[in-house]
Chain A
Amino acid sequence: MEKKFGVYICKGCGIKEAMDVEKVAGAAKKVQNYKFHDALCSPEGVQLIKDDMAKEGVNTVIIAACSPRVKYEEFDFPGALVERVNIREFVAWTMEPNTDATNDAAYDYLNMGIVRTQKGDLPEPNILPDLSSTILVIGGGIAGMTAALSAADAGQKVVLVEKDAQLGGIVNKLYKKIPTGSYINKPLVVDTDIAKTVSEVESNPNIKVYKSTTVSKTDGQPGLYDVTLSNGETMKIGAIVMASGWKPYDASKLDYLGYGKMKNVVTNFELEEIAKKNNGKLLRPSDGKPAMKVAFVQCAGQRDPNHLPYCSSMCCATSLKQAQYVRQNEDALAMIFYKDIRTPGRTELYYKEAQNNPGVMLTKADVTGISEAVNGNLYVEMENTLFGMKTGEKVKVEADLVVLATGMVPTTRGPQEYADGLTKAAGAGDEAKKNYLDQTPKPDYILNLGYRQGPEIPTLEGASGFADSNFICFQYETRRTGIYAAGGVHQPMNMAEAQEDGAGAAFKAIQAIDHVARGVAVHPRAWDVTFPDPMLIKCTACKRCTEECPFGAIDEDEKGIPFYKINRCRRCGTCMGACPERIVSFKDYSVDIVGSMLKAIDVPDDEDTFRIACLVCENDSYPALDTAAISRKKIDPSVRFVSMRCLGGMNLVWVADALSKGIDGMLLLGCKFGENYQCHFVKGSELANTRFSKVSETLNRLQLESERVQLMQIAINEYDKLPDMINEFVEKVKEIGPNPFKSM
Chain B
Amino acid sequence: MSEATVIKPDLQFVNEIIKGGGESLKKCYQCATCSVVCNVTPEGNPFPRKEMVLAQWGQKDKLIASPDVWLCHQCSDCTAYCPRGAKPGEVLNAIRKQSIKHVAMVPFLAKVATDAKLLPILFAIPMVLFYAILVVLGNGNFSAPRAEGNIMAYHKFVPVPVIDTVFILTAIFAAASAFVGIKRLWSGMKAQAGELKSTGSLGGDIISSVTTILAHSKFADCNVNRMRQWGHMLLFYSFIGLAVVTTWAIVYLYGFELLGIKPFGPFHFGESPYPNSDPVKILALISSIAFAAGVVILLLNRFAKAGKAGMGSYFDWIFLLIVVGVGATGMLSWALRLADMSAGYLVYYFHLVFIWSLFAYAPYSKFAHLFYRTTAMVFARHSGRDKK
Neighbouring B residues of A389 by C-beta, 8 Å: 5
Q: A356 touches which one: B14, B27, B45 (CB < 8 A)?
A: B27
Q: B7 touches which one: A331, A352, A362, A387 (CB < 8 A)?
A: A387
Question: Which residue of chain A is the closest to B23 with respect to CB atoms?
Answer: A356
Question: Which residue of chain A is the closest to B26 with respect to CB atoms?
Answer: A356
B59 within 8 Å of A (CB atoms)? yes
Contact across chains for B30 and A394 when beta carbons are under 8 A apart: no
Neighbouring A residues of B27 by C-beta, 8 Å: 352, 355-356
Contact across chains for B29 and A355 when beta carbons are under 8 A apart: yes
List 6 A-B residue pairs with CB atoms under 8 Å apart, sorted by A's residue number: A333-B9, A352-B84, A358-B14, A386-B53, A387-B53, A396-B5
Neighbouring B residues of A387 by C-beta, 8 Å: 7, 50, 53-54, 57, 59
Encode contact with A along B36-79: 1 for CB under 8 Å, 0 otherwise: 00000000010001100110110100000000000000000000
Contact across chains for A331 and B11 when beta carbons are under 8 A apart: yes
For the complex of A and B, list the 3 residue pairs with the smallest distance between their C-beta atoms, beginning with the closest. A388-B50, A394-B4, A396-B4
Encode contact with A along B1-38: 1 for CB under 8 Å, 0 otherwise: 11111111101001100100000001101100000000
Instruction: Check A359/B50 contact, CB under 8 A, given A364-B30, A396-B4.
Output: no
A398 within 8 Å of B (CB atoms)? yes
- CB-CB contacts below 8 Å: A361-401 with B: 361-364, 379, 381, 385-389, 393-398
Contact across chains for B26 and A358 when beta carbons are under 8 A apart: yes
Q: Interface of B with A (CB < 8 Å)?
A: 1-9, 11, 14-15, 18, 26-27, 29-30, 45, 49-50, 53-54, 56-57, 59, 84
Neighbouring B residues of A335 by C-beta, 8 Å: 9
Nearest CB on B from A38, distance (A): 57
A341 within 8 Å of B (CB atoms)? yes
A182 within 8 Å of B (CB atoms)? no
Neighbouring B residues of A341 by C-beta, 8 Å: 29
Nearest CB on A from B142, distance (A): 49
Question: Which residue of chain B is the closest to A351 with respect to CB atoms?
Answer: B29
Contact across chains for B56 and A393 when beta carbons are under 8 A apart: no
Nearest CB on B from A361, distance (A): 5
Question: Which residue of chain A is the closest to B47 with respect to CB atoms?
Answer: A388
Q: How far is the CA of A587 from the CA of B138 in the complex (A)?
A: 119
Neighbouring A residues of B84 by C-beta, 8 Å: 352
> Most chain-B CB neighbours within 10 Å: which of A358, A360, A361?
A358
Q: How far is the CA of A398 from the CA of B10 in the complex (A)?
A: 12
Q: How far is the CA of A635 from the CA of B173 in the complex (A)?
A: 89
Nearest CB on A from B260, distance (A): 62
Contact across chains for A395 and B7 when beta carbons are under 8 A apart: yes
Q: A397 touches which one: B7, B15, B18, B29 (CB < 8 A)?
A: B7
A357 within 8 Å of B (CB atoms)? yes
- The total of Cβ contacts below 8 Å across the A-B interface reads 75
Q: Interface of A with B (CB < 8 Å)?
A: 293, 331, 333, 335, 341, 351-352, 355-364, 379, 381, 385-389, 393-398
Neighbouring A residues of B5 by C-beta, 8 Å: 389, 393-396
Q: How far is the CA of A387 from the CA of B29 in the complex (A)?
A: 13
Contact across chains for B29 and A361 when beta carbons are under 8 A apart: no
Nearest CB on A from B20, distance (A): 13
Q: How far is the CA of A359 from the CA of B7 in the complex (A)?
A: 15
Nearest CB on A from B13, distance (A): 10
Q: How far is the CA of A335 from the CA of B84 in the complex (A)?
A: 20
Question: Which residue of chain A is the closest to B45 with respect to CB atoms?
Answer: A388
| Known A358-B14, A386-B49; 20 more pairs at CB < 8 Å | A333-B9, A335-B9, A352-B27, A355-B26, A359-B11, A359-B14, A361-B56, A362-B30, A363-B30, A379-B4, A386-B30, A386-B53, A387-B53, A388-B50, A389-B5, A394-B3, A397-B6, A397-B8, A397-B9, A398-B8
Neighbouring B residues of A293 by C-beta, 8 Å: 9
Neighbouring A residues of B6 by C-beta, 8 Å: 379, 395-398
Nearest CB on A from B323, distance (A): 32
Nearest CB on A from B65, distance (A): 14
Question: Which residue of chain B is the closest to A390 with respect to CB atoms?
Answer: B45
Contact across chains for A381 and B30 when beta carbons are under 8 A apart: no
Neighbouring A residues of B49 by C-beta, 8 Å: 386
Nearest CB on A from B90, distance (A): 15
Neighbouring B residues of A359 by C-beta, 8 Å: 11, 14
Contact across chains for A361 and B59 when beta carbons are under 8 A apart: no
Instruction: Check A333/B4 contact, CB under 8 A, given A358-B26, A361-B56, A387-B54.
Output: no
Nearest CB on B from A412, distance (A): 34
Nearest CB on A from B64, distance (A): 15
Contact across chains for B4 and A381 when beta carbons are under 8 A apart: yes
Q: How far is the CA of A360 from the CA of B26 in the complex (A)?
A: 9
Neighbouring B residues of A395 by C-beta, 8 Å: 4-7
Q: How far is the CA of A363 from the CA of B9 in the complex (A)?
A: 12
Q: How far is the CA of A465 from the CA of B183 in the complex (A)?
A: 64
Q: How far is the CA of A92 from the CA of B3 in the complex (A)?
A: 76
Contact across chains for B4 and A361 when beta carbons are under 8 A apart: no
Q: How far is the CA of A363 from the CA of B49 in the complex (A)?
A: 12
Nearest CB on A from B19, distance (A): 10
Nearest CB on B from A338, distance (A): 10
Q: How far is the CA of A363 from the CA of B56 in the complex (A)?
A: 9
Question: Which residue of chain B is the closest to A371 with respect to CB atoms?
Answer: B4
Neighbouring A residues of B3 by C-beta, 8 Å: 394
Contact across chains for B56 and A362 when beta carbons are under 8 A apart: yes
Contact across chains for A394 and B9 when beta carbons are under 8 A apart: no
Neighbouring B residues of A385 by C-beta, 8 Å: 7
Nearest CB on B from A398, distance (A): 7
Contact across chains for A363 and B2 when beta carbons are under 8 A apart: no
Contact across chains for B9 and A357 when beta carbons are under 8 A apart: no
> Most chain-B CB neighbours within 10 Å: which of A293, A356, A379, A393?
A356
Q: How far is the CA of A303 from the CA of B113 in the complex (A)?
A: 51
Q: How far is the CA of A393 from the CA of B9 in the complex (A)?
A: 18
Contact across chains for B29 and A357 when beta carbons are under 8 A apart: no
Q: How far is the CA of A385 from the CA of B50 in the complex (A)?
A: 10
Question: Which residue of chain A is the closest to B66 with respect to CB atoms?
Answer: A388
Question: Which residue of chain B is the closest to A394 with respect to CB atoms?
Answer: B4
Nearest CB on B from A723, distance (A): 41
Neighbouring A residues of B4 by C-beta, 8 Å: 379, 381, 394-396
Q: How far is the CA of A383 from the CA of B373 in the complex (A)?
A: 32
Neighbouring B residues of A388 by C-beta, 8 Å: 45, 50, 53-54
Contact across chains for B2 and A394 when beta carbons are under 8 A apart: yes
Neighbouring B residues of A362 by C-beta, 8 Å: 29-30, 56
Question: Which residue of chain B is the closest to A388 with respect to CB atoms?
Answer: B50
Neighbouring B residues of A398 by C-beta, 8 Å: 6, 8
> Most chain-A CB neighbours within 10 Å: which of B1, B6, B26, B54?
B26
Q: How far is the CA of A397 from the CA of B84 in the complex (A)?
A: 27
Question: Which residue of chain A is the closest to B7 with respect to CB atoms?
Answer: A397
Q: How far is the CA of A388 from the CA of B6 in the complex (A)?
A: 14
Contact across chains for B45 and A357 when beta carbons are under 8 A apart: no
